[in-house]
Amino acid sequence: MSTIYDTLDASTLRKPGAFSLTDINLVSYSSAKGDTEPKRISIETMVVDLNIYESIFNKCLSGNLLVVDTNNVVGNMPLTGYERLEFKFFTPSSSKGYDFSVKSGNPMYVYKISKRQAVNPRTQMYILHFCSKELMTNEEVKVQNAQTDTYTNMVANIVSNPDFLNSAKNVYIEPSKGLHKEVFGNDRPLDAIEHLSLKTISSKYSNSGYHFYETSDGFFYRSLESMLAVESNTARPVLAKFRPKPANIRDGGNKDIKNEMQIAIKFKIVDQFDTLKNLRNGVYASKLITHDATYKQFTVRDFDYNTEYEQSMHTEPGKDGIKTDNTGILPLFNKEGKFLSSQYNTSRMFASSTQKIHDNTELPNPRDYLQKRLSQRLAFTSFKLEITVPGFTGLTAGDLITFEMPSFQPYGEGNPRDNDPYMSGRYLITSIRHQLNRKQNKHIMILECMKDSVRKPYPEENVDTFTGKEKERRGIINIYELDKNTTNALNNFF
């Protein structure tokens, strides 16, 4: 299977971690004396470290620069917290990268200085924090109108409308179900988008709840399942295959740059499971009570993880990339006469299902999205992996990769592939931190990856191995009586 790394030109990208960085310019809100153009200062030679962050959980790009300043840029410009930052950063031979220039891209905005300190009497050091323009605009305007449309189109309008975020960037949208009416009273644009994302239902997938986030390509508004599939029953292909192996893999006496780029420098399992959290928050089972104020009716809906699982695409599909029902994070077993997925009272929810509040436009029914959204999102947090790999701007948050986790056991016939059968497999990149070290002249990236299923199904068990396995101690002990007996014993002793 090919990966995005197969498109790299080894004659252009000569070593892992190579990068291309243009001049870094700070552009002031004030103009140069006697000129109509804004004041501009190059700080490229002052930058020691550069970090860029993107995540499906963050709505805008952000980053920071570690600056060693010998020219007092802070005072001479001066820096006030509304400067634009211009530069281009990309991996050689990659068609994707970060273009923060004015002519062909979108500048970032400096919003904060932190950790400013003296290095010596003529040198200071500080961190410049920057973000997308839209994050700054979000604090300046409010959405105050009524909109009747699909939720997807409402989000696209909020992003592009000159009265709201006024973004000039591309917006990649996944069409959603239903025509709805929403009245926005006095909401920040990104808060309005978050409100809509919680109840948006995909028009193609058995999925609810969308993510709004920014990458180097622009803004995305889509469901988790659209990140995992290209059709309702066709898994999305992975873009990279990472594994922790020694470097300097050679092919015919030459370094194989495409393979070296996919070697994990280090990795750690951040989370593998949290049963208490999953029980409390309705990942495995929940009970939703809805109330319709118009018809004065209560409705109860029980959510069963094992029943719902096969209706959606997950990170680990079945054979030939189709949906499956046996790779979930919850093993199928009998605990004291019941399945965990049938313990509906572990998480109880209440919501209004009243319809036609605005004219004849119906709102999404919580029965169609609330339990499924909570279960799916939290299931992803059960398997969280962090890997450090050579920097590559061709990967973005929302892409799929595979990772081969070592088995951590003696090599033998019991595990011929020598990998962990459950933690290995397909992962969704949820966050990327690009880290550029000028001293080492090296670009690395830290990937936060999650999955909501396992490559090898957990074993099923029909026998109840829980009942009657504890010694019965059901006594109720009065501590005052214990204290009285202790006092009597002491009096007799003395």
Q: Which two tokens stand for residue 168?
A: 């000039």
The predicted model gives 261-281 an average pLDDT of 94
Enclosing H/E stretch for 472: none
Pick the closest to residue 314 from 227, 383, 392 (CA basis): 227
DSSP state letters, 287-305: EEEEEETTTTEEEEEEEEH
Q: Which residue has the higher pLDDT, 331 or 1?
A: 331
pLDDT of the residue at 455:
94
Maximum distance among all alpha carbons in the chain? 101
pLDDT of the residue at 325:
92
Using an 8 Å Cβ cutoff, are 53 and 67 in contact? no
What percentage of the chain carries pLDDT values higher than 70? 95
In this model, does residue 371 exceed pLDDT 80? yes
pLDDT of the residue at 422:
93
The predicted model gives 425-444 an average pLDDT of 96
Enclosing H/E stretch for 140: none
The predicted model gives 13-29 an average pLDDT of 94
Peptide bond into 78 cis (omega under 30): yes
Distance of CA 294 to the CA centre of its chain: 39
Query: Domains of the chain: which residue ranges?
Result: 4-136
The predicted model gives 328-353 an average pLDDT of 91
What percentage of the chain carries pLDDT values higher than 90? 75
Report the amino acid identity of residue 110.
V
Burial class (CB in 10 A: 0-12, 13-18, 19+), 416: exposed
Cβ count within 10 A of residue 371: 27
pLDDT of the residue at 462:
86
CATH 2.40.10.10: does it fit domain 4-136? yes
Mapped onto helix, strand or coil, the DSSP state of residue 114 is strand
> 223-232, 409-418, 440-449: lowest mean pLDDT where?
409-418
Residue 210 φ/ψ, nearest 5 degrees: -115, 165
In this model, does residue 207 exceed pLDDT 90? no
- pLDDT band, residue 472 (cuts 50/70/90): confident
